[in-house]
């Protein structure tokens, strides 16, 4: 049973959304109920920021615009994927520290927001005013917040204008009303105090994707894949995209999905395939295993994946890496196949931490310009 909820203020846009939902259900019927919600407290409690909004099985799938009938049909068709944050991708968070590397991450995130019709939150985290675990006096804290808010706003404005990346600042949202499909991300900045790994981990519960640069200044990146980056990538409650310096985003033409048996579950594979199709990218499943590993179960899983999820015009590429030098083999494969995005999926947090602590940061990511997407399957679900 599917529950469809339409949130709005009873205006013309809510009526348009109601009509489009009815037409979509007539063409793609599903068993369920349609409810309308106009009460302010219920809208606020749901966390909806812009009306009208469409909610499917408790997940916000559209807000601030009226999706077309075809878009609603696509939402209904993929309703089982809606609990995946990576598939939904409506709220992108990017961590900045005012460095060139974080500026590049910001522009990368802006382009993703355009592509996925997502909203963008720029987060600046400070812990330098803390002594132990106690903040400075509230008066100074308030003044410092205002100073940093102005700096971050100026940083965002300069970066986006210089690169011709169009975003609507939160301060201008009341005077703007973009038409559906115009793909103009709504952008807001947020100043947070605390230890970056803790603050970002907490904020990611409400984000669908966190974008971070891999070098910069200050506490967000004390060193390349240092303690903060490892902690954030390990503990984030949404997928994390790590962007090396000066990496542009013309598109992800070749995507490497580094797999083990645990990462090949249907939902994770399907959401990654859906993400790759936004870029019309070729998906490479590269299995990392031990020398004595039996290949029978793996071959069965890979056959099912190729049969069920692959586009007949672009079947998946499968490769198997055996040996101790996993990182070196992945890097070599990536170089030979012009990989421009790595995807790491794990159900066990220790897997990613172990991979980082060994040599992945030093031997592979240090020498690549390709971004890395980290998916924790246990966290990539709607909160």
Note the pLDDT of residue 350.
55
Tell me: pLDDT of 195 over 70: yes
pLDDT digits (tens, 9 = 90+) for 132-146: 344 444 455 567 778
Q: Which residues touch 374 (CB under 8 Å, ≥6 apart)? A: 233, 236, 239, 240, 241, 242, 344, 352
Please, what sign has the CA dihedral across residues 70, 74, 77, 83? Answer: negative
Backbone angles phi, psi at 81, to 5 degrees: -90, -5
Residue-level pLDDT at 263:
67
| Residues of the chain above pLDDT 70, percent | 72
Q: List every span in the chain annotated with CATH 3.40.30.10.
A: 2-79
What digits encode the pLDDT tens for the residues 56-114? Answer: 888 888 888 899 999 899 888 877 777 778 887 888 999 988 888 888 889 889 888 88
pLDDT for 4 beyond 80: yes
Instruction: Kindly tell me if the per-residue pLDDT of 290 is higher than 50.
Output: yes
Q: Which has the higher per-residue pLDDT, 373 or 347?
A: 373
Q: What does the pLDDT read at residue 111?
A: 86
Question: Model confidence at 173, in pLDDT bands (50, 70, 90)?
Answer: very low
The more confident residue out of 97 and 37 is 37
- In the chain, ranges of CATH 3.40.50.620 domains: 91-243, 254-376
Across 174-203, average pLDDT: 70
Stretch 320-344: mean pLDDT: 81
295: pLDDT confidence band, cut at 50, 70 and 90?
Answer: low
Fold of 2-79: Glutaredoxin (3.40.30)
pLDDT level of residue 157 (50, 70, 90 thresholds): confident
Q: Which residue has the higher pLDDT, 35 or 324?
A: 35
Question: What does the pLDDT read at residue 169?
Answer: 54
Position 30 pLDDT exceeds 70: yes
CATH of domain 254-376: 3.40.50.620
- pLDDT-derived band at 293 (thresholds 50, 70, 90) equals low
Q: Which residues pair with 319 in a beta bridge?
A: 286
pLDDT at res. 226: 44
DSSP state of 179: P
| Pairing of β 317-322 and β 341-346 | unpaired
367: helix, coil or strand? helix
Q: Is CATH 3.40.50.620 the right assignment for the domain spanning 91-243?
A: yes
Question: 3-state class of 3 per DSSP?
Answer: strand
- Mean pLDDT to the nearest integer, 177-182: 43
Query: Model's pTM, two decimal places?
Result: 0.74
Closest CA to 4 of 47, 61, 51, 42: 61
pLDDT tens profile 202-240: 898 889 999 988 764 443 333 334 455 666 777 788 888
CA end-to-end span of the chain: 20
């Amino acid at each position: 049973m599917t529950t469809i909820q339409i949130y709005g203020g009873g205006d013309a846009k809510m009526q348009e959304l109601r009509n489009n939902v009815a037409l979509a259900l007539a063409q793609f019927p599903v068993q369920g109920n349609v409810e309308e919600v106009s009460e302010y407290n219920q809208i606020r409690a749901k966390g909806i920021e812009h009306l009208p909004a469409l909610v499917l099985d408790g997940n916000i799938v559209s807000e601030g615009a009226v999706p077309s009938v075809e878009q609603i049909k696509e939402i209904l068709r993929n309703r089982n994927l809606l609990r995946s944050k990576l598939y939904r991708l409506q709220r992108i968070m990017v961590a900045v520290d005012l460095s060139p590397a974080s500026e590049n991450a910001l522009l990368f995130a802006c382009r993703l927001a355009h592509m996925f019709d997502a909203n963008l939150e720029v987060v600046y985290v400070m812990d330098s005013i803390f002594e132990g675990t106690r903040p400075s006096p509230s008066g100074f804290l308030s003044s410092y917040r205002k100073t940093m808010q102005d700096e971050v706003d100026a940083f965002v404005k300069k970066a986006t204008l210089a690169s011709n990346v169009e975003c609507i600042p939160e301060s201008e949202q009341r005077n703007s009303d973009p038409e559906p499909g115009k793909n103009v991300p709504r952008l807001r900045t947020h100043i947070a105090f605390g230890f970056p790994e803790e603050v970002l981990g907490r904020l990611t519960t409400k984000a669908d994707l966190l974008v971070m640069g891999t070098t910069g200044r200050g506490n967000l990146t004390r060193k390349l894949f240092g303690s903060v980056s490892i902690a954030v990538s390990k503990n984030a409650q949404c997928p994390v995209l790590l962007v090396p310096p000066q990496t542009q985003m013309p598109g992800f033409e070749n995507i490497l999905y580094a797999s083990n048996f645990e990462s090949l579950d249907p939902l994770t594979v399907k959401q990654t395939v859906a993400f790759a199709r936004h870029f019309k990218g070729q998906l490479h499943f590269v299995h990392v295993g031990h020398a004595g590993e039996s290949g029978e179960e793996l071959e069965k899983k890979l056959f099912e994946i190729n049969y069920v999820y692959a586009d007949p015009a672009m079947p998946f590429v499968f490769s198997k890496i055996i040996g101790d030098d996993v990182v070196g083999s992945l890097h070599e494969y990536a170089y030979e196949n012009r990989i421009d995005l790595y995807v790491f999926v794990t159900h066990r947090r220790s897997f990613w931490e172990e991979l980082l602590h060994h040599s992945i940061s030093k031997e592979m990511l240090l020498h690549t310009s390709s971004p890395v997407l980290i998916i924790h399957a246990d966290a990539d679900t709607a909160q």
